[in-house]
Structure 1
Amino acid sequence: MFVRTESFGSFLKLYPIVSIIGCIHILLWLFFQLPIPAIQILFSLLDGYNAGIANGEFWRLITPIFLHIGFGHMFFNTISLILFAPALEKILKKLKFTVFYLSTGILANLATYLFEPLNYSHIGASGAIFGLFGVYLFMVYFRRGMIDQANSQIILSMLVIGLIMTFFNSNINIIAHIFGCIGGFVLAPLFIKKKGNFVHQTYYSPSSTARFSIKKISPKHIIWVIFGLLIVIGMFFRLS
Structure 2
Amino acid sequence: MGLTETWRNKPLVTDLLIAINVVVFIAMVLAGGPTKPQVLMTFGAKINQLISVGQWWRLITPMFLHLGVQHIVLNMVTLYFLGVATEPLFGHWRFLLIYLGSGIAGNIASYFFTPAVSAGASTAIFGLFGAYLMLGVAFREQPGIRQTARTFLTLVLLNVVFDMFGSGIDLAGHLGGLVGGFLLAYVLAAPRVGRVSWWQRGLAAVALVGLVLIAGYGLMMKAV
Normalised by the shorter chain, which TM-score bucket?
0.7 to 0.9
Conserved 8 A contact 1:112-1:176: yes
- 1:173 matched to 2:170? The reply is yes
Give the CA deviation at 1:74: 0.4
- Corresponding residue for residue 161 of structure 1: 158
* Correspondence for 1:126 among 114, 118, 122: 122
Q: How far apart, in 2, do the equivalents of 1:157 and 1:28 lie?
A: 31
Give the CA deviation at 1:111: 1.1
Conserved 8 A contact 2:90-2:191: no
Give the CA deviation at 1:115: 2.0
Q: Deviations over 1:114-156 (max 9, x none)?
A: 2233xx2100011111111111112212222456243233122
Q: Deviations over 1:187-240 (max 9, x none)?
A: 221122477459xxxxxxxxxxxxxxxxxxxxxxxxxxxxxxxxxxxxxxxxxx
- 1:87 matched to 2:58? The reply is no
Structure-2 change in CA distance of 1:146 and 1:197 (3 Å): farther
Name the amino acid aligned to 1:157: T
- Corresponding residue for residue 78 of structure 1: 76
Q: How far apart, in 2, do the equivalents of 1:80 and 1:174 lie?
A: 17
Name the amino acid aligned to 2:100: L
Give the CA deviation at 1:176: 0.5
Name the amino acid aligned to 1:168: F
Conserved 8 A contact 2:102-2:181: yes
Secondary structure at the aligned position of 2:175 is classed as helix
- Corresponding residue for residue 232 of structure 1: none
- Corresponding residue for residue 114 of structure 1: 112
Q: How far apart, in 1, do the equivalents of 2:75 and 2:14 lie?
A: 12
Conserved 8 A contact 1:145-1:197: no
* Correspondence for 2:13 among 14, 17, 20: 17
Conserved 8 A contact 2:14-2:84: yes
* Correspondence for 1:26 among 22, 29, 32: 22
- 1:47 matched to 2:53? The reply is no
Q: How far apart, in 2, do the equivalents of 1:115 and 1:40 lie?
A: 21
Percent pairwise identity: 29
Q: How far apart, in 2, do the equivalents of 1:28 and 1:196 lie?
A: 34
Q: How far apart, in 1, do the equivalents of 2:99 and 2:105 lie?
A: 10
Q: How far apart, in 2, do the equivalents of 1:147 and 1:136 lie?
A: 14
Q: How far apart, in 1, do the equivalents of 2:20 and 2:142 lie?
A: 30
- 1:135 matched to 2:131? The reply is yes
Q: How far apart, in 2, do the equivalents of 1:172 and 1:166 lie?
A: 6
Q: Deviations over 1:7-53 (max 9, x none)?
A: xxx99x8111100111111111111112559x974531311111111
Secondary structure at the aligned position of 1:167 is classed as helix
Q: How far apart, in 1, do the equivalents of 2:142 and 2:104 lie?
A: 26
* Correspondence for 1:58 among 52, 56, 59: 56
- Corresponding residue for residue 186 of structure 2: 189
Q: How far apart, in 2, do the equivalents of 1:53 and 1:128 lie?
A: 19
Q: Deviations over 1:86-134 (max 9, x none)?
A: 22211222222111100000000011112233xx210001111111111
Q: How far apart, in 2, do the equivalents of 1:150 and 1:96 lie?
A: 22
Aligned pairs, how many? 185
Comparing both structures, which one devotes a greater share of its residues to helix?
Answer: 2
Structural RMSD (CA): 2.5
Structure 1 segments of 4+ aligned residues over 3 angstroms from their partners: 39-43, 193-198
